[in-house]
Structure 1
Amino acid sequence: MTVVSHPYVHFRNIQKTYDGEQLVVKNLNLEVEKGEFLTLLGPSGSGKTTCLMLLAGFEMPTKGEIFLENKPLHTLPPHKRDIGMVFQNYALFPHMTVAENLAYPLKVRKINKALIAEKVKQSLALVKLDNLASRYPAQLSGGQQQRIALARALIFQPQLVLMDEPLGALDKQLREQMQLEIRHLHKELGVTIIFVTHDQSEALTMSDRIAVFNEGIIQQVDTPQNLYEHPCNSFVAHFIGENNELTGVVVDIENNHCRVRLKNDAEVLARMGIPMNIGDITSLSIRPERVILAQAKNNCLTGTIEELIYLGDHVRVRLNVIDNNTFMAKIPISAMQKHWTAGVTIPVSWYSDDACALNPL
């Protein structure tokens, strides 16, 4: 007997329009496994938050179906979906204490008082805020409010938690701390989390997989490492992390590599990120940390230093390479050379496998 395995969450042929003309989400097909941390990543207006709202039940699909554990979800009202939700603005009740905020989801589910008190205590311990039960939201810092919002989403033990840019209002240091805390909670509790953000580094830090959105369409779904190292197109390459771009024409193809003639007639080798033919225009994607300065490798150009930006453990070197004056190299402090100053011309190179030939921008 064959056992059929179904995805935990399944968007099937989902479309969404608000005005009957323009599709905000276009034929979305996406599967999420149980216990996975999936991030929906994309610029503003790309459709990622709309997908989360469709799953939460705050919006209805124009077309298509949503399944949770192979059961239709899109027909259920939000309060019957049993999904935890964390918002960017925390959405805590200002007139309730921390303990009352945490107790609220349990009260509406008619849990007895003794069990509510126990679960509130456990939830406060989970987010390390045991001593703040009697405070009101206005008496908490942003980070503390976010922890309480997270605890409230988890207190009724949902198997699915949705997070809509929950760290956007926090400062950089606190945001990075909360990223790790949420990641650790995910591993500890084993819940399925679908997380929306436009912050690339946040997505790379926290996710098992990332779905990159643009104009209502998922461009690529993959692990953080594969998205960064093997983008499927130029949009993904430029949206995930920092990226240098050089345009050229494919003049030769061998196995999974191609030779590209650049604007100054120099030729370089790159691995092919997409299928290509001789004569195709391509955009080369080269990450700043893969750029090698002052040492000629098999792909060697010259660049003029425009600017040096000191960042403690490394230096960002902005160069003009073939009329591209935003070409960046990320160099460890130990590799810096004393004569490097603005106006100095130096070799700029990289290994062939560190350049990816993609569609032109």
Structure 2
Amino acid sequence: MQPIADPIVTFRRVQKTYDGENLIVKDLNLDIARGEFLTLLGPSGSGKTTCLMMLAGFETPTGGEIRLDGQRIDTVPPHKRGIGMVFQNYALFPHMTVGENLRFPLAVRKLPAAEIDAKVKRALEMVQLQDFAGRYPQQLSGGQQQRIALARALVFEPKLVLMDEPLGALDKQLREHMQLEIKHIHQSLGVTFVFVTHDQSEALTMSDRIAVFDKGIIQQIDRPDALYDAPANAFVASFIGENNALDGRIEHDDGDSCGVRLVDGSFLKAANGGVGRSGEAAMLSIRPERVRIVADADGANRLPAQVEELIYLGDHLRIRLRVAGSTTFTVKTPVSRLAQSPGAGQQVHVEIAPEHIRALTPMPA
């Protein structure tokens, strides 16, 4: 991982174990840039939430150090770190009105009453709920409660805001709306956001960078487009977005590109994603929207295929094919691109440009 010139947060060789034997977080080195929106993404048990909780102060590292603005914070209690926090369950005080919930973090900091009033007013305007100060949390919808939780995290103007699966309890439409709302608030304020989720589409939508966790290790940290188009390994390729995986062996290595012989004897040229020498196993990662269905085999990087299933989704078709030993190979294509939709059982060919195929080392069995 490339170091950042002026990071607001640094993790150096941070480890965490609960039983003294199994490391939940393993030797974590991470720089978080000032003002960025960083998402920690991974499956359950991957270490992403533990990482966030150590930064918040609710968990203590077993080893290593964490710094905020250059100051070591490993032993600083959570309430003295000056970090805003938004939880999935909102954590609003039910016996307090919205205004009182927002006043609370300012009152404990002993700010003057007039300054508190001004900050609360500004925070409510930020989340477009300035008329709700007198209501209680139970009188608000889920989306409104989440906005108030965000306003409370921002009201004391922290350097850093942490969010732990904050949209997980919302329905799909509201969740997608709140993703954009949070992104716009981040862009307008310039505060550093660290966001934890297991939802890869949410991460792709909101983030400046994404750190993909698995088994307590960051597998790759990069911009959303780079993670999607150039995954560093087979885990990232399979976890980020939809992916077709074809197995084969390296036939020749040309540096940035390579040739791969598939299990059925077919041959494809691909971008080299760090695979081994000739003769070693490779997994080809191919995104469904990068595949073209063509009528014949006349051309480079074409494979024979049989249509197994076709699903009409309005603006595009989702076609499941049998290709090179795989029965789950998927193509997503705009309806306008196909002169005539193929039918189930029809023999066709698929074409994939070499730059849209990434040859990776297979995941361990």
Q: How does 1:279-294 map to 2 (within 5 A)?
A: 279-294=279-294
Mapping for residues 180-259 of structure 1, pairs under 5 Å: 180-259=180-259
Other-structure match for 2:51? 51
2:135 pairs with 1:142: no
Structure 2 counterpart SS, 1:245: strand
Q: Structure 1 5/248 Cα, relative in aligned 2: closer, same or farther at 3 Å?
A: closer
Equivalent pair of 1:6/1:70 in contact (CA under 8 Å): no
Query: Which sections of structure 1, spanning at least 5 residues, go unmatched?
Result: none
SS at match of 1:115: helix
Give, in whole Å, the separation in 1 of the partners of 2:109 and 2:80.
11
2:66 corresponds to 1:66: yes
Cα deviation 1:49-98 (Å, max 9, x = unaligned): 00000000000000000001111011100010000000011111111111
The answer to whether 1:328 aligns with 2:334 is: no
Q: Is the 8 A contact 1:258 1:272 kept in 2?
A: yes
Report the counterpart of residue 313 of structure 2 in structure 1: 311
For residues 227-269 of structure 1, give each alpha carbon's deviation from its aligned partner in whole angstroms, at most 9, with x where no partner exists: 1111110000010100000000111122311111111111110
Identity fraction in percent? 61
1:342 aligned residue (338, 341, 344) = 344
Instruction: Provide the rounded CA distance (Å) in 1 between the counterparts of 2:111 and 2:313.
Output: 53
Contact persistence 2:269–2:301 (CA under 8 A): yes
1:322 Cα shift? 2.1
Q: Distance in 1 between matches of 2:105 and 2:133?
A: 16
**For residue 18 of structure 1, what is the aligned residue in structure 2?**
18
Query: 1:164–1:197: 8 Å Cα contact kept in structure 2?
Result: yes
Residue 351 of structure 1 is aligned with which of 345, 349, 353?
353
How big is each residue's C-alpha offset from its partner over 1:105-151, in whole Å with a ceiling of 9 and x where there is no partner? 00111112222122111111110011111111111111000000000
| Distance verdict in 2 for CA 1:112–1:243, change over 3 Å | same
The counterpart of 1:360, out of the listed 340, 358, 362, is 362
Once the two structures are superposed, residues 183-202 of structure 1 have per-residue CA deviations (whole angstroms, 9 ceiling, x without a partner) of 11111111001100111111
d(CA) in 2 for partners of 1:59, 1:160: 17
Spell out the pairing of 1:135-174 with structure 2 (5 A cutoff).
Answer: 135-174=135-174
User: Post-superposition shift, 1:323?
Assistant: 2.5
Distance 2:260 2:10 in 1: 41
Q: Name 2:300's counterpart in structure 1.
A: 298
- Does 1:263 find its partner at 2:251? no
Q: What displacement does 1:5 show?
A: 4.6
Distance in 2, matches of 1:300 and 1:180, equals 39
**What's the offset of the Cα at 1:343?**
1.1
The CA deviation string for residues 36-59 of structure 1, in whole angstroms up to 9 with x for no partner, is: 111000000000000000000000
Q: Residue 86 of structure 1 contacts residue 166 of structure 1 at CA under 8 Å; is this kept in 2?
A: yes
What's the CA shift for 1:337?
4.4
**Matches of 1:263 and 1:237, distance apart in 2:** 20
Q: Supply the AA of the counterpart residue of 2:210.
A: I
Q: CA deviation at 1:19?
A: 1.0
Please give the alpha-carbon distance, in whole angstroms, between the structure 1 residues aligned to 2:283 and 2:343: 29
| Matched-pair contact (CA < 8 Å) for 2:255–2:272 | no
CA RMSD of aligned residues (A): 1.2
> What is the aligned partner in structure 2 of residue 115 from structure 1?
115
Structure 1, residues 135-168: CA drift from partner, whole Å, max 9, x if none? Answer: 1111111100000000000000001000001111
Q: Tell me which residue corresponds to 1:9.
A: 9
CA distance in structure 2 between the partners assigned to 1:139 and 1:305 by the alignment = 52
Deviation of the 1:275 alpha carbon: 4.3
Determine helix, strand or coil for the equivalent of 1:29. Answer: strand
Answer yes or no: is the 8 Å Cα contact 1:17–1:23 preserved in 2. yes
Q: For structure 2, list consecutive stretches of 5 or more residues without a partner in the other structure.
A: none
Aligned partner of 2:250: which letter? V
Once residues 278 and 227 of structure 2 are traced to their aligned partners in structure 1, the CA distance between those partners, rounded to angstroms, is 26
Mean Cα displacement is larger for which, 320-329 or 331-340?
331-340
Give the structure 2 partner of residue 101 of structure 1.
101
Verify the 8 A CA contact 2:207 2:224 in the aligned structure 1. yes
CA contact (8 A) 1:84 1:162 kept: yes
In structure 1, how many angstroms separate the alpha carbons of the residues matched to 2:133 and 2:145? 12
